[in-house]
Amino acid sequence: MRKIMVEHMRPYADRIFYDGLGSVIAQQGNSGPRIMLDAHMDELGGIVRRVRPDGFISMEMLGYWLDQALPDQRWVILGSKGPVPAVTDLWDAHIAPSEVYGHPIPRKDLYLDIGARTAAEVEALGVFPGDPVAPVTDFQVLANNRYVAKAWDDRIGCAVILEVMRRLAHSSHPNQVFYAATVQEEGSTEMRGAQTSARLINPDLGIALEVGIPNDVPGIGPEAAQEVLGGGPGMMLYTFSELPNRKLVTFVKQVAAQEHIPLQFDFVEGFGDDAGAIKLNGGGVPVTTVLVPARSTHTHNGIIDRADFDRTVDLMVALLQRMDSASVTAIKSF
């Protein structure tokens, strides 16, 4: 993922540098306020935990998975001899214990099957404890220009970064923009890559680009989340990791209204993102989180609406073109 980001950033960047964890940072511009745009590269996955004598493999999950999302899924183990395909086994419906009906199978009872018959065969394939495990899903275009794939959280934020970079490379703006594609956000309340990247960038202002949480499918109460797919970019107003800067929120609202871009708002108690780490840099940084709505994040098959992505890019370009020393100083002042 980092290799792909560097390849696409390089034509539009004045320089590219890295933190010590593996995040990549691209800079555009050498004067004006230091604006940090952040999106994390990592996705939910797992790590090989133990290889059983019969060749089945237990997995330690990385990130916030629902147990319901794990059985009967395809994965790839990134072993020392190359990728090894795997599937999480599920009991056959004809012999499944009666107590599992209507209940999710606990993750501790799930095992990866790579076709091996013994632990020696697993080792011969180059698979060992500690090896990463990634979900496997095909990208597909659905009706109404909606896309299904894995890891929209937060590959869609990375895509927004690349498109904003491309557009601003041919358009003036009064800032130094630092585009940070970070690591170790999922499963980490520390948002580690955002922390280390913010220390290198030392931003005046930070915006995390993330997935929003639509609540437009049957079965969940209206207070759980407020976004809808196709409703335009969102902005998170409350998460466990941040309370966004109110002046920055107002600035985003004003620019969205001027550009006639619909803007959604959300409050999700179980949501945290890199803005929570950026805001604590130095003496404190004004931050907010701009969102591309994505259904069914933290699964193998999430869904986005292409129009939400395009409008988010439009909003970010307009924000960066309108931000200048005076507006950033006003946002930072108390």
The pLDDT tens digits for 232-255 are 999 999 888 888 999 999 999 999
State what percent of residues in the chain have pLDDT above 90: 80
Tell me the CATH number for domain 2-43+150-332.
Answer: 3.40.630.10
Whole-prediction pTM value? Answer: 0.93
| pLDDT tens profile 123-154 | 999 999 999 999 999 999 999 999 999 999 99
If DSSP codes are grouped into helix, strand and coil, which group holds residue 212? strand
Catalytic residue, from 43, 99, 163, 185: name it: 185
CA distance 34 to 27: 10
Q: What is the pLDDT of residue 64?
A: 86
Residue of 190, 182, 231 lying closest to 210 (CA atoms): 182
pLDDT of the residue at 159: 98
162-173 pLDDT per residue, tens: 999 999 998 888
Q: Which residue has the higher pLDDT, 26 or 94?
A: 26
Summarised one tens digit per residue, pLDDT across range 207-222 is 999 999 998 888 887 7
Q: Has residue 188 got a pLDDT over 70?
A: no
Which pLDDT score, from 0 to 100, does residue 158 have? 98
The Cα–Cα gap between 277 and 285 comes to 10
Catalytic residue flag (residue 223): no
User: In this model, does residue 180 exceed pLDDT 90?
Assistant: yes
CATH level 3 topology of 45-135: Elongation Factor Tu (Ef-tu); domain 3 (2.40.30)
Q: How confident is the model at residue 106 (pLDDT cuts 50, 70, 90)?
A: confident
Delimit the domains of the chain by residue range: 2-43+150-332, 45-135
CB proximity list for 37: less than 8 A, separation 6 or greater: 161, 164, 177, 178, 179, 180, 206, 207, 209, 316
Nearest Cα to Cα of residue 247 among 315, 326, 324, 327: 327
Given a cut of 70, whether residue 327 has pLDDT beyond it is yes
The span from the CA of 193 to the CA of 38, in Å, is 10
